[in-house]
Amino acid sequence: MQTKRIYQLFSSLIMFILMGQVGLLGSDSPGKYINNGTESFSINFDLVNGLILLEASVDHIRGKYILDTGCSFIAIDGVEGKGDIELSSTEFSATASETNLAKFELGGIKMENIEALEFDMKKIEAIVGTDIDGLIGTQAMMNYNILIDYTEMKVSFLGEQSPQLNINSLSHTIIKSAMTTHDNQSSIDVQIQDQSYTLLLDSGANISVFDFSYKKSLKHLHQKNKSSIIADDYIIEELSLDRVTIKDMAVLYRDLSLLQDNRSGQKIDGILSLTSLDADKVLIDYTNSQVIFFWAHEDIAAVE
């Protein structure tokens, strides 16, 4: 009997994150780029339940996809129960199969002969609240830096010839955080009181998550979210990024041991939802291994 390979699909009623097992998809064989990634371009998006939905084309058919920086590969909607790959979730399970996409287009990104996953996304659609055709992970973004503008509802893919960013430092608080990228998934460090935590940076989650093992040690720094019916849903009083303090951030506690097992040495304490930070813009700068957050002064929660 063939042993099923296990992927981790971490999900709650209001959060969706897809992680690929190291080395299977999206890293060694991302597909062939038709363009070379030197030219920059922008795409408008819809923000639905805290998730970025944008249009892309698979084999000349346009559809609606979640932009997920926490996912290392591309996935498309498929048939329920098909395949020998097990999707493991905190909330549900499913099966998937590997597939090959002849062509993939996302704005100026054009790829062919792409390895991807295919699985039934009905359970994900129930979480998001709308129909989706798949997920776009970092497999499609390897040649670009990513600027997510939540004010203008636009994602810019910045190539080698990208223009200089023109953001007024007098009207924005700008924070730069060092970023570590491992298996095409990036993380940064945040602080809660004097303790540092390494969190996976994820545009494919609308609530942040800490490993369940931290629930006890953080008990004096969080309070139960009384307005939520979800188990282990709490409010962290303060979380800091350098001199910016995010107050009353919603978090879930979940068992992330499967995620940790596939990090091959890098410890991950949780997952950081980009939308939970209420930043106006986020620049994921793979070139310089950093993330830059921009808050308009009138919107910022607190600046120390």
> What pLDDT does 163 receive?
60
- Asked: is 5-144 a CATH 3.10.20.30 domain? The reply is no
Looking at every residue in the chain, the average pLDDT score rounds to 81
Comparing 15 with 56, which gets the higher pLDDT?
Answer: 56
pLDDT, average across residues 142-165: 86
**pLDDT(33) > 80:** no
Instruction: Say which CATH topology domain 172-296 has.
Output: Cathepsin D, subunit A; domain 1 (2.40.70)
* 12-26, 45-59, 216-230: range with lowest mean pLDDT: 12-26
Q: Under a CB-based contact definition with an 8 Å cutoff, are residues 115 and 31 in contact? A: yes
Instruction: Give the C-alpha distances (Å, rounded to integers) separating 68 from 53, 112, 116, 136.
Output: 9, 20, 14, 6
pLDDT digits (tens, 9 = 90+) for 61-75: 999 999 999 888 899
Residue 90 — very low, low, confident or very high, per pLDDT cuts 50/70/90? low
Comparing 58 with 15, which gets the higher pLDDT?
Answer: 58
pLDDT, average across residues 120-139: 87
Residue 24 — very low, low, confident or very high, per pLDDT cuts 50/70/90? very low
5-144 against 172-296: fold identical: yes
> What pLDDT does 20 receive?
41
Maximum mean pLDDT: which of 56-70, 171-185, 288-302:
56-70
> What pLDDT does 166 receive?
66
Nearest partner of 53 among 140, 151, 155, judged by Cα: 155
> What pLDDT does 49 receive?
86
> What pLDDT does 62 receive?
96
Instruction: Give the C-alpha distances (Å, rounded to integers) separating 82 from 107, 200, 225.
Output: 30, 30, 38
* 19-23, 36-40, 218-222: range with lowest mean pLDDT: 19-23
**pLDDT(189) > 50:** yes
**pLDDT(97) > 90:** no
> What pLDDT does 6 receive?
40
pLDDT, average across residues 159-168: 68
Per-residue burial over 30-62, b = 16 or more CB atoms within 10 Å of its CB, e = otherwise: bbeeeeebeebeebebeeeebbbbbbbbbeeee
What are the backbone angles phi and psi of residue 214, rounded to the nearest 5°?
Answer: -90, -5
Q: Is 80 exposed, middle or buried (0-12, 13-18, 19+ CB in 10 A)?
A: exposed
- Delimit the domains of the chain by residue range: 5-144, 172-296
* 161-175, 200-214, 243-257: range with lowest mean pLDDT: 161-175
> What pLDDT does 131 receive?
92
> What pLDDT does 134 receive?
93
Please give the share of the chain, as a percent, with pLDDT higher than 90.
Answer: 46
pLDDT, average across residues 259-276: 80
pLDDT, average across residues 226-246: 87
Q: Under a CB-based contact definition with an 8 Å cutoff, are residues 112 and 44 in contact? A: no
Residue 91 — very low, low, confident or very high, per pLDDT cuts 50/70/90? low
> Cα separation of 7 and 116, whole Å?
13
> What pLDDT does 67 receive?
94
